[in-house]
Structure 1
Amino acid sequence: MTVTAGAPPIVAGGLGAAFWRMWTASVVSRFGDALRGPALSLVAAGLTRDPETIALVVIAGQVPGLLFGLLGGALADRWDRRLSMAGTDGLRCAMVVGLAIAVATGNVNVGLLMVFAFAMSTVGTLFDSSSFAILPELVPADRLAKANGRMQVGSTISGGLLGGPVAGGLFVVAAALPFAVDAVTFALAALLALTLPRMSAAQAAAAPRASLWGAAVAGVRWMWREPSLRLLAILSAAANLVIGALLAVIVLLILDVFGVPEAAYGLFTLVGAAGGIAGGVFASRIGARYGILPALRRVLVVQAVALTALAAASGQVVVGGAALGVFIAGSAIWNVLVNTYQQQAVPAELRGRTGAASRVVGLASAPIGAALGGLIAGQFGVASVAVFGAGVFVVLAAVSWRALTGGPAVS
């Protein structure tokens, strides 16, 4: 199977006021997420030191994406996406306020944390699908890759660089403070979402009329019947399998394989954030130069080389850091270009559902990869996880090199 691309090339240009309002809402909300995640874990650790119980809180926040992701995509195609984004952020604001009050008054337990994490993630499925689907309506088609890249950069800075350190500082001041700030970010994001363009009459007429589940299944079928989208979903799932395996042992990889001192661990992780930022900045330029599909196959080759270097970087901090940064940059470029391709290749009335289907596939493979990474590390050593990852990416690069071809980029 060969997948080709033949749409107008990506070009540079302004993104418009509507995009920057959405960008601001996304970045502010992502900052709040980065505050809430560590704070939730710290609250859980203050209630119990049982690792299995604490893990249940994390799992409760991961399950809804698999259970309700497709339904969130169906609702995103049925409702006004602007109102869906504002409504979900408003609801999440109220939920975070409630948790902040519970934490401040000492009326919190592990069960409440699990319910909270589950509910927040469930509501988030609608927001994620709506924001993915509305972006092509805010920017010219030839600037969509640039817009996705800017979204990636903003998310990485606010979540990867700023959120974690600030969360710890706020928690020291008061355990409820990170949640209170998170509530403010949701309120601001909801107000900004209301300023985005309304659903047009044509969009309303094209909204799915089938049952909610029937509409969700129709989106999955549409994606699966399109060779390019099907192949990209399979490649993304395989890549997420490797990423899940690496994340499961990343702390041991950095400390024991690279030889990074514990005191420098936090500083070393900034390499990953730098890679994510670089990938977001250069993704649109790479897509413009090679075309999106040919660029994606090149990304897989680079990532295969990076993982090979990662596996061979025992005791070599510089080599290990550079390889990790390059791999994460490749993942950022992959996400930007795949999102761009999907947003342009899918009709507007199906965009929420097909995007949700792709995310569900990725969510399903990541925990499997995490379990596999733990098993491989336990049997063959931590560095073997990187060897496994390199082997998978070599196969993905070989498959994609023959399958992903084409001319001008899909923007």
Structure 2
Amino acid sequence: MLGRSFGFLWSSTALSNLADGLLKVGAPLLAVSMTRSPTLVSLVGAAATLPWLVLALHAGAIADRADRRRIMVVAHLARAAILGAATLLAALGLLDLWLLLAAVLLAGVSEVFADLSAQSVLPMTVSREHLTRANGRVSTAQMIGNDFIGAPVAGLLVVALPAALFGAPAVLYAAGGLLLLGMRGAYRLPAAPTGRRPLRRDIGEALRYLWAHRVLRSLAVSAGLLNLANSAYFAVFVLWAVGGGSAIGLEPGEYGLMTTAFAAGAVLGSLLSGRVAGLFGEVRTLLGCWLTTSLLLLVPVLVPSPWTLYPTAVLWGLFGAAGNVLVISTRQRLIPAELLGRVNSAYRLVGMGGMPLGAALGGVVAEFAGLAAVLIGAVGVCLGAVGLVWRALSDRISGPLTSEATLSDISRSR
């Protein structure tokens, strides 16, 4: 029903996110094997997310000018080449922490272009009425690849065959890029801005649109605070959870299983998000998901045990994924097609731009104040972010985010 082209897009997403999962979990675990410094370990998370802060606006503007599918193909193949070189270094015993950070950083640059183009190409692949369903399937593939399969495999590879932490993702990214060639149709906007038009003009137009739209602006700011806090939390959480001297005492393989538990919940949350929002309303469902996820971050701090961590991880995934599907579908419905790449990039700059800062800040604070201070402080920031978006959207608490009242926000603000 969603079409042949969506099938190729979904398959590519599944493979590339399996690669993401191997890299996301494997790189910090590999860093922990090189150093126990919270500051140095947190640099892995900072390196992975820094490209969002630096390149998101430009990547979105380019996605509105060029063929979005072609951008994704080039980005996937570039990541394959980068990680292929890292594989060779690891096999030769030449990989150190700084080369690890460089590989993660360069792969993150390609990820910015691939992900922004992917979210913009989806509305060109399926009809608007099928967006939530399609995003649910894409989110499911992302969670299965990132956490359900990729995470535990990464935990095993870091012990048995470290070089494969880069070699396997390289092969998967290459395959994902080639699959995209099976998509039929045009994936460049008919009225795309020309190359003669200054890129900064396109970027400025997107920033003005985002700031003028009350709902998108509120969601972006709240998402930014949530991501900053979560980046600080999870940048050092591996030290809280893994190793003989840690609070929880997990082995690397067991840490991978925790992210598998997260993925199991996320798959369920992705599939149920639309139905739950239909019962309780989009705003109420989104706020409930964000609030619950924030409070659950306290559990591993107050009760540091594997027996509480695994079910908590399931709930993290369930509520986090459900909220994510709702937000992505809302953006795709509210933003005009000719602005989708740019406004998505502006949104994600605000929403994700604080992640490298959060990761680095988490490491520095943990160095001087301890891990628990970072974890508890992150929960406080998350609760403040939920309060901010609740205040902004309280007038439509039981309605849809894409109501007529929401759509009229722009016209009133201009």
The interval holding the TM-score normalised by the smaller chain is 0.7 to 0.9
2:308 matched to 1:296? no
- CA 1:112 to 1:219, structure 2 compared with 1: closer, same or farther past 3 Å? same
Task: Output one character per residue of 1:130-180: Cα deviation in whole Å (capped at 9) or x when no partner.
Answer: 001001111221121121122222111111121133234445554433323
Amino acid at match of 1:151: V
Query: What corresponds to 1:278 in structure 2?
Result: 268
Paired residues, number:
394
CA contact (8 A) 2:64 2:342 kept: yes
Query: What corresponds to 1:153 in structure 2?
Result: 140
Give the drift of 1:189: 0.8
Give the drift of 1:336: 0.9
1:206-285 equivalence runs, <5 A: 206-207=192-193, 209=195, 210-248=197-235, 250=237, 262=250, 267-285=257-275
- CA 1:327 to 1:60, structure 2 compared with 1: closer, same or farther past 3 Å? closer
- TM-score, with structure 1 as normaliser: 0.81
- CA 1:365 to 1:118, structure 2 compared with 1: closer, same or farther past 3 Å? closer
Which segment is superposed worse, 17-26 or 296-305? 296-305
Query: What corresponds to 2:190 in structure 1?
Result: 204
Query: What corresponds to 1:287 in structure 2?
Result: 277
Task: Output one character per residue of 1:65-98: Cα deviation in whole Å (capped at 9) or x when no partner.
Answer: 2111111111111110111111111222222222
Distance across 1 between alignment mates of 2:85 and 2:258: 36
Give the drift of 1:123: 2.1
Query: What corresponds to 1:332 in structure 2?
Result: 321
Amino acid at match of 2:327: V
Give the drift of 1:327: 4.1
CA contact (8 A) 1:146 1:283 kept: no
Query: What corresponds to 1:188 in structure 2?
Result: 175
SS, match of residue 162 in structure 1:
helix
1:388-407 equivalence runs, <5 A: 388=380, 391-392=383-384, 395-396=387-388, 398-400=390-392, 402-405=394-397, 407=399
Query: What corresponds to 2:79 in structure 1?
Result: 92
Distance across 2 between alignment mates of 1:315 and 1:93: 38
- CA 1:401 to 1:78, structure 2 compared with 1: closer, same or farther past 3 Å? closer
- CA 1:298 to 1:113, structure 2 compared with 1: closer, same or farther past 3 Å? closer
2:366 matched to 1:366? no
- CA 1:239 to 1:387, structure 2 compared with 1: closer, same or farther past 3 Å? closer
Give the drift of 1:115: 3.4
Amino acid at match of 1:156: M
Amino acid at match of 1:339: I
Distance across 1 between alignment mates of 2:87 and 2:365: 38
Which segment is superposed worse, 36-45 or 98-107? 36-45
Distance across 2 between alignment mates of 1:43 and 1:244: 18
Distance across 1 between alignment mates of 2:75 and 2:341: 15
CA contact (8 A) 1:297 1:404 kept: no
Distance across 2 between alignment mates of 1:249 and 1:59: 11
Amino acid at match of 1:399: R
CA contact (8 A) 2:140 2:266 kept: yes
Distance across 1 between alignment mates of 2:228 and 2:43: 21
1:56-135 equivalence runs, <5 A: 56=43, 58-135=45-122
- List alignment gaps of at least 5 residues for structure 1: 1-13
Give the drift of 1:379: 9.7
Give the drift of 1:25: 0.5
Distance across 2 between alignment mates of 1:368 and 1:118: 14
Query: What corresponds to 2:6 in structure 1?
Result: 19
CA contact (8 A) 1:64 1:122 kept: yes
CA contact (8 A) 1:291 1:408 kept: yes
Distance across 2 between alignment mates of 1:307 and 1:366: 17
SS, match of residue 204 in structure 1:
coil
Q: Percent sequence identity over matched residues? A: 29
Give the drift of 1:29: 0.9
- CA 1:120 to 1:223, structure 2 compared with 1: closer, same or farther past 3 Å? same
- CA 1:174 to 1:393, structure 2 compared with 1: closer, same or farther past 3 Å? closer
2:330 matched to 1:341? yes
Which segment is superposed worse, 360-369 or 318-327? 318-327
- CA 1:262 to 1:83, structure 2 compared with 1: closer, same or farther past 3 Å? closer
Which segment is superposed worse, 115-124 or 81-90? 115-124
Amino acid at match of 1:228: V
Which segment is superposed worse, 377-386 or 280-289? 377-386
Amino acid at match of 1:360: L
- CA 1:301 to 1:33, structure 2 compared with 1: closer, same or farther past 3 Å? closer
1:350-361 equivalence runs, <5 A: 350-361=339-350
Amino acid at match of 1:326: L
Query: What corresponds to 1:7 in structure 2?
Result: none
- TM-score, with structure 2 as normaliser: 0.80
